[in-house]
């Protein structure tokens, strides 16, 4: 039996596919449709529609608020990289950085050599200490390295 999170994810993926890679939803309305709290919708968005999985989330809070989910199209290397780099704002955990690098490699946006170098550059060993500052540094290193690779 699938969980509520699985059902919400599947519903959103069907919408994204139907509307050719971009969908705009009302978080509260979707929560009402699934008879759950809006925080459950946030959980699904935060864990299953991430940058490393190829999605960009835009949102606006308030009465006219919305959540826009965009599936990054990988038909243009430069355009895809600009979108990915734009989303690298918050501190990245090692697993998140590795997920981004893996996706870039799997989609032939970076070479195997680049992926190995990037993974080494953002590893726990390279940065040398464990703290939230390490995650901020990891984000900056990855962002700047990708800008250099793609000359953005």
pLDDT digits (tens, 9 = 90+) for 20-39: 888 999 888 999 999 999 88
Summarised one tens digit per residue, pLDDT across range 58-73 is: 877 766 668 889 887 6
Residues 145 and 81 in one domain: yes
User: What pLDDT, on a 0 to 100 scale, did the predictor assign at position 62?
Assistant: 67
Q: Are the CB atoms for 92 and 146 separated by under 8 Å?
A: no
Residues 82 and 139 in one domain: yes
Return d(Cα 99, Cα 119) in angstroms, integer. Answer: 10
The number of folded domains in the chain is 2
Q: What is the CATH classification number for the domain harbouring 29?
A: 3.30.56.130
Residues 81 and 134 in one domain: yes
Residues 113 and 54 in one domain: no
User: What pLDDT, on a 0 to 100 scale, did the predictor assign at position 152?
Assistant: 61
Return d(Cα 136, Cα 91) in angstroms, integer. Answer: 4
Summarised one tens digit per residue, pLDDT across range 108-121 is: 788 999 999 999 99
Q: Are the CB atoms for 92 and 122 separated by under 8 Å?
A: yes
Q: What is the CATH classification number for the domain harbouring 119?
A: 1.10.1200
Would you say residue 127 has pLDDT above 90? no
User: What pLDDT, on a 0 to 100 scale, did the predictor assign at position 130?
Assistant: 67
User: What pLDDT, on a 0 to 100 scale, did the predictor assign at position 135?
Assistant: 86
Strands (E) located in 1-152: 22-25, 55-60, 66-71
Would you say residue 89 has pLDDT above 80? no
Residues 6+ apart with CB under 8 A from 112: 105
User: What pLDDT, on a 0 to 100 scale, did the predictor assign at position 75?
Assistant: 55
Would you say residue 77 has pLDDT above 70? no
The boundaries of the domain holding residue 131 are 77-150
């Amino acid at each position: 039996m699938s969980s509520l999170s699985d059902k919400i994810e599947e519903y959103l993926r069907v919408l994204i596919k139907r509307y050719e890679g971009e969908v705009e939803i009302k978080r509260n309305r979707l929560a009402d449709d699934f008879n759950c709290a809006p925080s459950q919708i946030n959980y699904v968005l935060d864990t299953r529609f991430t940058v490393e999985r190829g999605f960009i989330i835009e949102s606006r809070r308030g009465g006219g608020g919305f959540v826009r989910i965009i599936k990054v199209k990988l038909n243009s290397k430069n355009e895809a990289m600009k979108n990915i780099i734009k989303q690298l704002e918050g501190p990245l955990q090692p697993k998140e950085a590795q997920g981004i690098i893996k996706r870039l490699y799997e989609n032939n946006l970076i070479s195997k050599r680049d992926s190995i170098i990037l993974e080494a550059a953002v590893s726990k060993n390279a940065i040398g200490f464990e703290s939230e500052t390490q995650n901020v540094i990891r984000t900056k290193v990855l962002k700047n390295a990708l800008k250099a690779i793609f000359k953005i």
